[in-house]
Copies of this chain bind each other. A is one copy, B any other.
Amino acid sequence: MPQISERGLEMPESPIRKLAPLAADAKKRGIKVYHLNIGQPDLPTPQVAIDAIKHVDRKILEYSPSQGYRSYREKLVGYYRKYGISVTADDIIVTCGGSEAVLFAFMSCLNPGDEIIVPEPAYANYMAFAISAGAKIRTITTTIEEGFCLPKVEKFEELINPKTRAILICNPNNPTGYLYTRREMNQIRDMVKKHDLYLFSDEVYREYIYTGSPYISACHLEGIEQNVVLIDSVSKRYSECGIRIGALITKNKEVRKAVMKFCQARLSPPLIGQIAAEASLDAPEEYSRDVYDEYVERRKCLIDGLNRIPGVYSPIPMGAFYTVAKLPVDDSEKFCRWCLEEFSYENETVMMAPASGFYTTPGAGRNQVRIAYVLNKEDLRKALIVLRKALEQYPGRAEDD
């Protein structure tokens, strides 16, 4: 039997999805599982998007252009303008989810062995895409005690070497909910400029900023226009995770030219997804406002609830719809498994994502979990009760440090 590739062995299992079989088994045993593990909002997709799908008036579900439909890209220009991001339709390449945008950015910009600096905890799949491209993620650890703010520039400078080719940020951050300040963004800009690095900026949560602080996009930073590659997706803002529509946006023509070759190889982004995404841009303003207001309340509900559980601590996330919380357990992965395999309270349990999968530093995040507040408040409250009971009964409880 021929062997699996080294890359195939090295690829991490998704910390968000790898426990899914255990959740399925729990459900088979009749247990209700609160999914706090995955950023799958329970909020409705805009009705205009559902309607656009229902009214698909085509005889043939044909290929679309490799870079995505022009009509959709032109409409996106107006969307970005509202956020002070000035792009043309030609700067935008439609991808199969934000995932493909990250993969193609890495494939086009990084050679095997090249290094990318990423503040950790970080969205776990960046590691997976880096392995796919043969690149190496070098992480800078941010801490729960400091609210996951950006470490000092010196920490970056220590890591930068001739192999360093890029900095990657997610802003607002998944998994921490942290929002980079203008000062932090300017620091990043200066490093990018000084060392002529790429800046990959994943900004798929820009709609969800709760503190009144300004959203500073990588595209707002002056003097590094040729270095910035913006990663985007409609998944979260329209509750359309399943349609797989994202975008890669850059002013750098050479990058676009390379990315387009990867796009041509996979032929085209999903057709129906583009139809839904384009229609979603016409969703009424109330849609976004209602969704936003709902997340504001859920955030409060979750964070207050977490911090009331003895031994649990969560900072207050400024954006996105996740938090990284510290639990009084020996090993959060063991705890998350235990919740699904051995525990239930009134026939219910919780599924969370062990945070260790969001760190590359060994041992980091061992007593942390990522929790998504994508469930309605009633479910969140119930899930909090279940979590409290689980922590009371869990045999591997750790004393507070």
Contact = CB atoms under 8 A, between A and B. Distances in A.
Interface of A: 1-2, 4-9, 11-14, 16-18, 20, 38, 40-45, 49-50, 53-56, 58-66, 96-97, 99-100, 103, 107-112, 114, 125, 128-129, 132-134, 165-166, 196-198, 226-227, 239-244, 252, 254-255, 257-259, 261-262, 264-273, 276
B4 A255 contact: yes
Given A18-B264, A254-B4, A56 B59 contact: no
Contacts of A2: 109, 165-166, 196-198, 227
Q: Main SS of the interface on chain A?
A: loop
17 contacts: A4-B109, A8-B108, A8-B109, A8-B255, A8-B258, A38-B63, A53-B54, A61-B276, A96-B96, A96-B244, A100-B266, A107-B132, A125-B267, A242-B272, A243-B270, A244-B244, A244-B271
For the complex of A and B, list the 3 residue pairs with the smallest distance between their C-beta atoms, beginning with the closest. Answer: A242-B271, A8-B258, A128-B265
Given A4-B257, A50-B58, 19 more contacts: A1-B196, A1-B226, A2-B198, A4-B258, A5-B111, A5-B133, A8-B107, A8-B258, A13-B264, A16-B264, A63-B241, A97-B266, A100-B266, A125-B266, A128-B265, A132-B262, A244-B244, A272-B272, A272-B276
Contacts of A8: 107-109, 255, 258-259, 261-262
A269 B100 CA distance: 12
Given A6-B111, A112-B134, A128-B261, A267 B42 contact: no
Contacts of A242: 61-64, 268, 270-272
A136 to B, nearest CB: 14
Nearest to A1: B226
A12 B257 CA distance: 11
Contact of A61 (B45, B61, B64): B45
A55 B51 CA distance: 10
